[in-house]
Structure 1
């Protein structure tokens, strides 16, 4: 696979100014009395710390520390058994029998049972729960029908045989089922707690989980505190006693807090700081399996017209954006699926699929005029680009605004909202064009392409294409991996022809992490894990 990271040209004057903001981060030698605590910068309030309701990477970051499913990830990012002590699969590949670990416990000391898993998965599917990720369970027999109000919970193929045995029936064999089971949507929740208090996940007081850490404090819009869970079966691998996620929405502020030692770890550095920090031994740049995009609402003018959608996509200069605005080594994106997926023949899915369009201002203007003529418009309806509040998003939105003006002659407005409000607004499809990022929960094209299924609650564009949905459905029952990947390429072809969104770039993650800490796990498809992290000096 081609090299991910793009070397940046140093801005020496800026570097000297930013570096001058730094505090003294010298360490004080090894000591058995090192306080195993860490303070981490988080850029937004987690919208939902209930595994059934979470849909975003911010909430997922906390959930992945406080919960664990039947499968989990090891330090290298490989999918390994979690609470599943043993897994048996029937000869036809459709029935799984999981044996729950004897030492699986909730943070209150009570056992995690197979009944908790049955309850939790059926809760995700219950239409009254309103889970946006319920469709990830549709591989299970009867799951889709129940979620869509056409079946009952009793018909769902999930059954606790006894306290330690969970039986799951699938519609068809699924090669990546264990990867799905590591997602937070499949985490168990404590049945009696949830049934007793519908707001159990709103604060730390009532919070019970089963992962390496437990939540002990949540001051909304200020901080989330998690502490080592001494009831966790793998507690011997956990060194940190306490992690404080400080919620600091402003990128410049959290960067300054890191430089003065108030934060030990920050993610997604402000673009200006990247020039100053790229040679710092505490700086890390890691590929991230995700796509930064701008969604079009295909039910709101002017993006009801496919030619106009394509014109906008062709009018922005992605290399200028990644080189001069974001500056974090991102790769310009001309498709939905990022690099990093190994195909059955040893290639890379993105490289084999290639680019679906190219930037061309003259062609973009032509398409815009053709689209307007088709709609009978002499002038284009007013357009607003919505983004969630973050410094990098603001810079990208303003750059896109300038490029669209230059290359299409169209004035667009930009507007921002806080993350939780933004999720509600886009979910209600109350926008014309809006930025979005989608990070794959595991490394496979299906996790990216599922986003635009017609009945996916995450698809906020209003775009529904039966051909696309049919191809994706076929891919999920195809047992031949070569044929499965062919189908996924076909699906991406359909998606990119209609273009209900415009890809901007494929992510990289940038970090600053204090040299006092070691054993942080960096993953391609999710935020880092501190499960094995250790503080080596004060």
Structure 2
């Protein structure tokens, strides 16, 4: 009997060993098959206006650029700034001078080394007035940067200097507690000096495009798709799971929703409003906070929005609660100010401390409208057209606002839409009266939200300039006492909301459907999903 049991035990051991071998042969530690292609297909919704870090000013372009490039700092999976292309940083005792060491193994996607000169060149290129970078003002913290960008100084006076191939020195005008966070923004990414100098159109096509981040650009079919693949020269390539990322460009919400359902897309954002209710209990459905504000800008140089009372009347006549409950339906919060919730200050959440700057009040709105028209000498309100960029949700919101203004103020407005790239050009040229816009903070701080309406900000398409607002913002940026800094920012927001060159509608949240075949996708509060660490675990 002992021999029989021994034989059975040996047989079971052999079978279990074979089965274990079969199970481990095709799987990794997390159970994902090793031979599964690590590829993911996303939806950019529209053509990215620019894949040049110096020129990009929108979240679509930034989403792709963030996967292609890496700054001195990058963000980890928790969204925290960590050293990226730099291996070390030393900060002077007064907090104004940063000395970065570029990694020895930091390389461009063509294999050439990334140098400190590349960073110096890239940053000064952003500041060069001839470049026309819309985000140059984010570098104004640097000594001499603002002067150079405004044509009042030279590039040599900018506090950015390559001391040698691997050492970059940066001098600030004043200490900045969130400088590491700021440097994770794409405006501060390097570009390859020799490439950009030899080919001004280097970023217009995939061929010849060179980057230094986790991926390289391999295909760009304009208005169709962008494809990136893992950069084998990236210093931290072993930490990158996803080998290939494809962005389709499908703007119609019903279409991209169906593409997700049929497996043509692995992740979609901004579901069609009709689909949200049926997907809410789906494990693939996710809603995350998004640090930004949905708004309608006024061109204060065009009638009737040259009058502040009329601007406020329009703002007070819109039912935000109805919009977020009946149209967006993803947990957005009605906005009665500009800075969203989510900023912790010594006194509490910045938005809760600041409170609301107005309320919905149809009776008061009608009164303000009449007063404004009387001030301008109008018996009839000039014709108004509201423009928005093509997307189903924007259309529905615009139609709702159109109906609310008609019902509450007796004002009839026209609607018009344009594709995203054209839309940005139209609004940039101030060729509008009232226009949809959204603004997402590059990191969670009131400054980067309020910066939108600086008088010299290229993103401020309203033509609204207020010296008091600009002065308060300038003081806040050099204030070292956190409590006082937030107080100055509250004052600045109050000035902005008193003049109201825009209508805040709601504070964003973002909804997604993500295929259960993937894990490890990161959903930042101020960016679209980061798929560098994503892993496909099933076919």
Quote how far apart the aligned CAs of 1:487 are.
0.3
The equivalent of 1:371 in structure 2 is 372
The equivalent of 1:57 in structure 2 is 59
Structure 1 unaligned residues grouped into runs of 5+: 1-28
Cα deviation, 1:185-221, whole Å, max 9, x if unaligned, reads: 0000000011111110011001100111111000000
**Kept after mapping to 2: 8 A contact 1:95/1:168:** yes
Quote how far apart the aligned CAs of 1:526 are.
1.0
The equivalent of 1:297 in structure 2 is 299
The equivalent of 1:478 in structure 2 is 479
Quote how far apart the aligned CAs of 1:268 are.
1.1
**SS at 1:476 equivalent:** helix
Quote how far apart the aligned CAs of 1:54 are.
0.1
The equivalent of 1:11 in structure 2 is none
Quote how far apart the aligned CAs of 1:328 are.
1.5
In 1, Cα distance between the equivalents of 2:96 and 2:38?
A: 45
Quote how far apart the aligned CAs of 1:91 are.
1.2
Q: TM-score, normalised by structure 1?
A: 0.94
Quote how far apart the aligned CAs of 1:528 are.
1.1
In 2, Cα distance between the equivalents of 1:260 and 1:212?
A: 29
Match of 1:206 among 205, 208, 212: 208
**Residue 383 in structure 1 maps to residue 384 in structure 2:** yes
The equivalent of 2:249 in structure 1 is 247
Cα deviation, 1:391-414, whole Å, max 9, x if unaligned, reads: 100000000000000000000001
**Kept after mapping to 2: 8 A contact 1:291/1:507:** yes
Alignment of 1:311-390 (within 5 A): 311-345=313-347, 347-390=348-391
In 1, Cα distance between the equivalents of 2:364 and 2:326?
A: 24
Quote how far apart the aligned CAs of 1:32 are.
1.4
Quote how far apart the aligned CAs of 1:366 are.
0.3
Alignment of 1:151-162 (within 5 A): 151-162=153-164
RMSD (CA atoms): 0.7
Match of 1:85 among 81, 84, 87: 87
In 2, Cα distance between the equivalents of 1:30 and 1:133?
A: 42
**Kept after mapping to 1: 8 A contact 2:250/2:256:** yes
Larger Rg: 2
Cα deviation, 1:403-443, whole Å, max 9, x if unaligned, reads: 00000000000100110110001001010000000000000
Quote how far apart the aligned CAs of 1:530 are.
0.4
Cα deviation, 1:279-315, whole Å, max 9, x if unaligned, reads: 1111110000000000000000000000000000000
**SS at 2:345 equivalent:** coil
**SS at 1:185 equivalent:** helix
Bigger relative CO (Cα 8 Å, ≥ 6 apart): 1
**Kept after mapping to 2: 8 A contact 1:290/1:439:** yes
In 1, Cα distance between the equivalents of 2:86 and 2:336?
A: 40
**Kept after mapping to 2: 8 A contact 1:288/1:525:** yes
The equivalent of 2:427 in structure 1 is 426
Quote how far apart the aligned CAs of 1:234 are.
1.1
Alignment of 1:485-524 (within 5 A): 485-524=486-525
The equivalent of 2:119 in structure 1 is 117
**Kept after mapping to 2: 8 A contact 1:335/1:355:** yes
Structure 2 unaligned residues grouped into runs of 5+: 1-30
In 2, Cα distance between the equivalents of 1:489 and 1:467?
A: 13
Alignment of 1:66-85 (within 5 A): 66-85=68-87
**Kept after mapping to 2: 8 A contact 1:271/1:328:** no
The equivalent of 1:452 in structure 2 is 453
In 2, Cα distance between the equivalents of 1:213 and 1:475?
A: 37
In 2, Cα distance between the equivalents of 1:240 and 1:427?
A: 36
**Residue 166 in structure 1 maps to residue 164 in structure 2:** no
**Residue 442 in structure 1 maps to residue 443 in structure 2:** yes
In 2, Cα distance between the equivalents of 1:162 and 1:274?
A: 55
In 2, Cα distance between the equivalents of 1:461 and 1:381?
A: 18
The equivalent of 1:12 in structure 2 is none
How many residues are aligned here? Answer: 509
In 1, Cα distance between the equivalents of 2:210 and 2:513?
A: 31
Quote how far apart the aligned CAs of 1:30 are.
3.5
In 2, Cα distance between the equivalents of 1:217 and 1:481?
A: 46
**Kept after mapping to 2: 8 A contact 1:44/1:419:** yes
In 2, Cα distance between the equivalents of 1:287 and 1:217?
A: 32
The equivalent of 1:309 in structure 2 is 311
Quote how far apart the aligned CAs of 1:80 are.
1.2
**Kept after mapping to 2: 8 A contact 1:106/1:112:** yes
**Kept after mapping to 2: 8 A contact 1:365/1:408:** yes
In 2, Cα distance between the equivalents of 1:83 and 1:42?
A: 26
